[in-house]
Structure 1
Amino acid sequence: MGTSAHTAPFMVPTPPEYTDPEYALHPDGTRVERIEDIVRRRAAATPDLPAVVEPDRVTTFAGLDQASNRVAQALLRDGVQVGDRVSYVGENAPSFLAVLFGASKMGAIPTAVNFRLTPPEVEYILGHSSPAVVVLGRGQERLAAVAAAQPGVKRVVTVEAGEHSTGYDEWLGQTDVEDPGFARDPHDTALMFYSSGTTGRPKGIELTGANLGQAIAAMHYLLELDTTAVALAPIPFFHVSGFGLAIIAVVNGAALLLRNPESPQHLLEILQEHAVTHAVAVPTVIQFLLNLPEARQGDWSALRYMIYGSSPMPEPVLREATEVFGCKFLQSYGLTESTGGVTMLSPEDHLPTPETAHRLRSVGRPMPNVPVRVVDPVTLADLPFGERGEVLIGGGHVMKGYWENPDATAAAMTPDGWLRTGDGGSMDADGYLYLHDRLKDMIVSGGENVYPAEIESVLTGHPGVAHVAVIGIPSEKWGESPMAVVVRAAGPAGESLDAPGLIAWSRERLAGFKTPVDVAFVDALPLNASGKLLKTALRSTYA
């Protein structure tokens, strides 16, 4: 590993065959820089090809285009204005894409909300984003009353009509299939995701059409998606990684397979039955697949790419997976604030020599046209190769900002536009990025980003809790899970508090993946001389 200082961001040269380094291209050769144009151009190019494949139906690109036109007309009929938010809460479904494209076609800002959240968590997000219309997917009718109670909500739409909602089919009713023809400025907010943050409250991440166009471009030439491809999208679309795969599939005319595997065995059956060409999985799931005898007996000739993230792939697992599946492997690193992946560990990197095997511990090199730096987290000065610091991301991938939160935006972005990831890392002389300690103490549980501050904020609301710190502990199933270390409050509430009771209490207020799996009680939390909590000491004790 090199030791000389680098004073400029590391950038990988743009491949010579890549004709537009900043943007992906539609089938007609125009730039991808507006969400609303993605389905318009694809439907014009390949109207009869399958866009979305479900167990009981297939939606063509023409069908998806027409469905999104109906959504746009229904929103206009409801009085939704340009710039209003339209929230979608639900599992992956054609209706998500119809609302995404339909809201965009009439100028509203689609807002994806995590369907795994509890009603109080959803209530906060809806209160903060102030949507004009809320669409609830299958199984989310429980949230209809919460959504209807929010000021400014003109309509709540559910799969079936209820006391507080209109049925989805009834809502679309006899609406016109004409496209309203809206075209958003590429630098205006085009989409919002809500991601938990270190403040303990979710933040609305504003992404523009230009952000999306450039993020798609970075992956465009790498994945070899085309009209013969079948992409399995088990990652929820409210995650930028799941959303990104869906959008890239539509841009390239690939079929998007919407199946939710219930087990590794079920995933294997889906991959085989549908001749999936592009799959996304975390390393633990890939390892589970390898433990199935059927994996070695199957025909994997259709599988072209296995894309993974969240954690490095152990070299023995990678070698076995390469032998069994015979496909190319890709790993990516990124944030919602960076419009998804910004580095890539390429298929070639996954075929290491003894001299390059250490690169499997990295998250790869920056994608084309994406500048990445490692800096001193205090001075923001660039650090020498091999020295640990904070990872910064620049260029057109960086979000516009946090919705109605200028203080958080200023804290996350430098005055000259660099995104402070809060992730600790180092870079070698060949440009490979290695992640180390997470400066924000983020926990990655089953592919979900879990922020201790949010859990701590909820747990301190219990009358029996005086002080609490949340850390991640290893989990064979999920990679990591949250654990709470608690100082009991004085009095009856603290004296009667036990681990099962606190876990049950938090489960009512937090999504399942955020709920602590264990609680330890201590007399005092470890602090340094200046009173700062020493989570490293807690991790060394419990993790």
Structure 2
Amino acid sequence: MPPTEAPAPLVSRLPDGQPLTRIADIIRSRAAASDSVAMRTPSASTTFRQIDELSSRIAQRLVASGVRPGDRVACVSRNSPEFLAVLYGAAKAGAIATAVNIGLAADEVTWIIDDADPRVVFVGPEEQHLESAVRASTATPLVVSTAVDALLEWVGDAPAVDPRADGDGDQTALILYSSGTTGHPKGVMLTGHNMAQALAAVQNLLELDDASVAMAPIPFFHISGLGLALVATLVGAELLAFTPSTPAELHTTLREQEVTHAVVVPTVIQRLLELPEAAPGSLPRLRYVIYGAAPITPDLLNAAIATLECRFVQSYGLTESSGGVTILDHSDHKRGVNEPHLLRSAGRALASVDLRIVDQLTGRDADPDQPGEIWINGAHRMAGYWRNPAATEEAFADGWLRTGDVGRLDAEGYLFIVDRLKDMIISGGENVYPAEVERVLLTHPEIVECAVVGTPDARWGESPLAVVVTTPTAALTEAELIAWSRERLAHFKAPTQVRFVEALPRNASGKVLKRALRTDPTPRKDQ
């Protein structure tokens, strides 16, 4: 077994040159260095010093309200300057900031507030419908609105003086809740050192600086969205909180706001390129496109490079790893034009990260190109799960973080994600990875989306069930799809049952709830 000693961390430095260890130092140091725009919304611009001053006033008011170091302060809000002020204010007060997914159902929000047990919960002006869910919690927190007037009224005459009640970088600074696709969400505890490591990787790889303008479409309650917001403050970049609703609006925003770094998904890239105005030279300031959620095809990449004339990047990571731990960088994408298999990978491990692929049967490292569980070592690893020692113990092995994801490493060290370990089907002693079956099914012209899960089978133990959404005019039958699948997959991988439904059940993060599919609560298409 490889040594458990973690690789040397990257160093993330504050504007004053000191190494970053605490989240509150990000806004302290940046505000002292400049008063440029931190965040721009369609209605207003907010500077770093304004966020710094408001966060100090919030911190003072939190302390006066009885918040002590280690207490939780939660925020149920969409992206806004006030969200960042609450985050930094909680940090200055020594509290643990807890961001709650605003897309959750009321009962789910109540459960998270119960679990986090915060002293104060800030609720956004557009999330007032969730206030009753917060108040229903047994935690009985103080509830404060982040609507600007209400927030200023609450802080009152609290001085803009930083209480500096935060501890060192080893203490938990953030709790972000996992998506809960296999049960209740778990609170992922991240320290200042965890976030410093994550931000160093982003800062170094994306060439972000104080001349950058980064679009922020990802909610701050996701690790990738929050990481982008924190690194923007760290380097002095402007964060753009715009939500274009059409490709044309997106193109206009990219051009008029002089965006340098944009986060999009491949389908949006495709629709953007279909616009007549999306011609070479139309977005001269765009330097990086960061994409995810799906691989990019060689044809689309070629067209995007020719039209957008920028660099492309994607990565792999999870909340428990403080965000991305691999990178498929611009040079990899250039290779991918002629070596398209690379575009299906998540890139190679960052310099500060060790990756292992562990065979689940032997417990030893898998051979190159053989699948196994992805294990991570390095300063990115979470501190553990909030108030859940059993889950924490299960998540670590000899100091390595077990991701629960199945992947493979090729001879060059490129990581290819195969599936979630908990989703793997064992049929007749053979491992079946649903994601592989789903990729094949999605090539059928009458299938819009699908999910594959394992169902009990008296003969094989488990067998694959395909839950399928078809096009409105499709006349596809179960027998036809099974026969079609067997022409393209090994028979043990092909579905033995097909269920046609109107839509797949998803959680607030957009992930398919496979546990729900196994219990069959979805309406069939013929019902």
Structure 1 residue 430 and structure 2 residue 417: aligned?
Answer: no
For 1:347 and 1:9, how far apart are their aligned partners in 2? 31
- For 2:10, the equivalent position in structure 1 comes to 22
- Of residues 161, 164, 172, the one that matches 1:181 is 164
Is 1:32 the counterpart of 2:15 in the alignment? no
Counterpart Cα distance in 1 of 2:465 and 2:98:
29
State the partner residue of 2:444: none
Alpha-carbon separation, structure 2, partners of 1:51 and 1:179: 19
Query: Which amino acid counterpart does residue 150 of structure 1 have in structure 2?
Result: S
Structure 1 length-normalised TM: 0.78
**Deviation at 1:472?**
7.1
Query: How far apart in 2 are the matches of 1:473 and 1:272?
Result: 39
Matches within 5 A, 1:249-264: 249-264=232-247
- One-letter amino acid of the structure 2 residue matched with residue 382 of structure 1: D
Relative to structure 1, the CA distance from residue 122 to residue 155 in structure 2 (aligned partners, 3 Å threshold; closer, same or farther) is same
Which residue number corresponds to residue 313 of structure 1?
296
Q: 1:191 to 1:92 in 2, by over 3 A?
A: same
Shift of 1:355: 6.2
Structure 2 CA distance, aligned partners of 1:374 and 1:91? 37
Indicate the larger mover: 180-189 or 130-139.
Answer: 180-189
Cα distance in 1 for partners of 2:468, 2:184 equals 22
Aligned to 1:345: 328
* Structure 1 contact 10–371 (Cα < 8 Å) conserved: no
Q: 1:418 aligns with which of 385, 400, 418?
A: 400
Shift in Å at residue 71 of structure 1? Answer: 1.0
Give the counterpart of 2:224 among 241, 244, 256: 241
Q: Which amino acid counterpart does residue 236 of structure 1 have in structure 2?
A: P
Relative distance call for 1:470 and 1:386 in structure 2 (3 A) is closer
Q: Please say if residues 8 and 373 of structure 1, whose CA atoms lie closer than 8 Å, have aligned partners that are also in contact.
A: no
Offset at residue 499 of structure 1 (A): 7.3
Decide whether the 8 Å contact of 1:277 with 1:303 is kept in 2. yes
Cα pair 2:356 2:376 within 8 Å, conserved: yes
In structure 1, the partner of 2:61 is: 74
Q: Which residue is 2:99 aligned to?
A: 112
Give the superposition deviation at 1:369.
Answer: 1.1
Question: Equivalent residue for 2:379?
Answer: 396
- Please give the alpha-carbon distance, in whole angstroms, between the structure 2 residues aligned to 1:217 and 1:194: 23
**RMSD between superposed Cα atoms in Å:** 3.3
Deviation at 1:145, TM superposition (A): 2.2
Q: Tell whether 2:390 aligns with 1:407.
A: yes
Q: How many residues align?
A: 459
Counterpart-to-counterpart distance in 1, 2:339 and 2:294:
19
Task: Specify which of 29, 44, 50 is matched with residue 32 of structure 2.
Answer: 44
The 3-state SS of whatever aligns with 1:410 is helix
- For residues 61 and 400 of structure 2, the distance between their equivalents in structure 1, rounded to whole angstroms, comes to 39
Residue 204 of structure 1: how far off its partner (Å): 0.3
- By how many angstroms is 1:160 displaced? 5.4
Mapped contact 2:13–2:20 kept (Cα < 8 A): yes
Distance 1:499 1:345 in 2: 35
- Who is 1:382 aligned against? 365
Q: Tell whether the 8 Å contact from 2:327 to 2:346 is kept in structure 1 after alignment.
A: yes
1:275-286 matches, within 5 Å, as: 275-286=258-269
Query: Does the C-alpha gap of structure 1 residues 474 and 389 become closer, same or farther in structure 2, counting only changes over 3 Å?
Result: farther
Q: Is the 8 A contact 2:281 2:309 kept in 1?
A: no
Aligned 8 A contact 1:51 1:60 in 2: yes
1:296 aligned onto 2:273: no
Cα 1:472–1:360 shift into 2, 3 Å: farther
- SS of 2:194's equivalent in the other structure is helix
Tell me how far 1:377 sits from its aligned partner: 2.2
Task: Output the CA distance in 2 between the equivalents of 1:313 and 1:431.
Answer: 20
Alignment gaps of 5+ in structure 1: 1-5, 15-20, 445-451, 457-468, 477-497, 526-543
Which residue of the other structure, out of 137, 149, 152, is the alignment partner of 1:169? 152
Give distance in 1, aligned partners of 2:208 and 2:10.
18
Contact between 2:297 and 2:340, CA under 8 Å: does it hold in 1?
no
Q: Is the 8 A contact 2:120 2:143 kept in 1?
A: yes
What is the aligned partner in structure 2 of residue 158 from structure 1?
A: 145
Q: Give the whole-Å Cα distance in 2 for the aligned partners of 1:474 and 1:390.
A: 30
8 Å contact kept, 2:336–2:343: no
CA–CA separation in structure 1 for the residues paired with 2:233 and 2:83: 13
Structure 2 CA distance for partners of 1:438 and 1:514, relative to 1, 3 Å: closer
CA shift digits 1:89-133 (9 cap, x unpaired)? 111001110011000001000001100111111011001111111
User: Is 2:69–2:166's contact at 8 Å kept on the other side of the alignment?
Assistant: no
Q: 1:10 to 1:309 in 2, by over 3 A?
A: farther
Q: Identify the residue that residue 343 of structure 2 maps to in structure 1.
A: 360
Query: Once the 2 structures are TM-superposed, how far is the Cα of residue 74 of structure 1 from its aligned partner?
Result: 1.4
Partner residue, 1:330:
313
Unaligned runs of 5+ in 2: 425-433, 436-450, 456-463, 472-499, 522-527
1:9–1:373 Cα contact (<8 Å) kept: no
C-alpha distance in 2 between matches for 1:471 and 1:403: 35
Report the CA distance between 1:153 and its aligned residue: 3.4
* TM-score (ref. length: structure 2): 0.80
CA contact (8 A) 1:11 1:367 kept: no
Q: 1:321-341 CA distances to partner (integer Å, 9 max, x unpaired)?
A: 111100011111000000000
Choose the corresponding residue for 2:123, options 136, 140, 143.
136
**Aligned match of 1:124 in 98, 111, 132?**
111
Structure 1 99/292 Cα, relative in aligned 2: closer, same or farther at 3 Å?
A: same
> Could you tell me how far 1:521 is from its partner in structure 2?
11
